[in-house]
Each structure stands twice: as C-alpha cells, then as structure tokens.
Amino acid sequence: MLIRCLLVIWASPNTLLGLSLGVLALVTGGRMQIERGCVEVYGGFVQWALQRMLGGRGAAAMTLGHSILGQTQNTLRVARDHEHVHVRQYERWGPFFLPAYLGWSAALWMRGKDAYLDNPFEVEAYDVSNPMFSEEDFEESDDD
C-alpha cells in the first residue's frame, strides 16, 4: 500500500497535467470514468486535441501519469492495455517521463526514424498490446 501511494505521488505532476486537460474536456462535453485505478477522460476538447496530434495523423489515446485521455469511450476500451503500459512507465520515470519520451522522439526524428513508432516507450507498449481500431471505435456510442 505504501509503495502504491509513493508511485502515485511520483507520477502526480504528469497526472495533474492530464487532469487539467480532463477538466477542459468535461466543460466541452467530455466524460470521465475510473478504470483500473486511473482516471479516463474522453470526448470534448480531449477528442479534438487527440485528432490533431502526431503531425495530423491523430492519436486514439494518450496517457499522462494516472490519467488516460481518449477520443471516445470505445478507443479507451481498445487501447486500455497499451495505455496501462505507459502508466507503469510513468510510475518508473515519474516527472522525468515526458522529457525522456520527448527527447527520444526528437533524437529519432533527427536520425530519420519514426518519432512515435520507434520510440522505446512505444516499442515496449506495443510489445505488450497492439490495439487494433475500427472506424466505429472513433464514433460516439449510445453509452457516451
């Protein structure tokens, strides 16, 4: 229990960033749920922002500490195992995760590699779970 609390505190600067974006989502029509000890936010501003990430390719979901942002409830369901690999990475790296992730991405991009898919943090997450999305996963469902 003590170790779990320390991991949550260690990752908390990133979690707070995610929760701040989550508040923007909630005031713009987004929704929130708790799954596996993480706050998940989808829709609203978060969906709009994720659609424009990765140089316009878009992202289905994104993890910030113990907060996971997704385009829709369905994309969160499909990406959940992959995103929880990132949660564990945040628990290891704490406030250094984002600089390390972005540093790797920049170094890869400068070497002509894919800044996302070749990033070691993504390689680890895709080794555990490679989510396969359908067009329907990006649409609002009646459950939303």
For residue 22, what are the contacts with CB-CB under 8 A and spacing of at least 6? 30, 32, 39, 41, 46, 67, 69
56 token code pair: 């316009």
Query: What is the residue whose two structure tokens read 């990752």?
Result: 11
Question: Long-range contacts for 46-55 (Cβ within 8 Å, ≥24 apart)?
Answer: 46/21, 46/22, 46/70, 46/71, 47/71, 47/72, 49/21, 54/116
Residue ranges for the chain with pLDDT beneath 50: none
Contact (Cβ atoms closer than 8 angstroms) between residue 73 and residue 42:
yes
Q: Which residue type sits at 122? A: E
Q: What pLDDT is attached to residue 142?
A: 52
Sheet containing 67-70: give its strands across: 31-35, 38-42, 67-70, 61-64
Compute the distance between CA of residue 63 and CA of residue 134 in angstroms, rounded to an integer.
Answer: 21
Report if residue 110 sits inside a domain.
no
Q: For position 117, what pLDDT does the model report?
A: 93
Identify the pLDDT of residue 74. 93
Tally the domains of the chain: 1
Identify the pLDDT of residue 141. Answer: 62
pLDDT of residue 15: 98
Predicted confidence at residue 144, as pLDDT, reads: 52
Q: How confident is the model over 105-132, as pLDDT tens digits?
A: 999 999 999 999 999 999 999 999 988 7
**Can you read off the two tokens belonging to residue 112?**
């002509």
pLDDT at position 67: 98
Range of the domain at 17: 2-94
Give a yes or no: residue 138 inside a domain: no
CA proximity to 14, closest of 77, 66, 89: 66
Per-residue model confidence (pLDDT) at position 132? 76
The closest alpha carbon to 40, from 1, 83, 91, belongs to 83
Contacts of 83 (CB under 8 A, 6+ apart): 61, 62, 63, 68, 76, 125
Res 137: pLDDT:
72
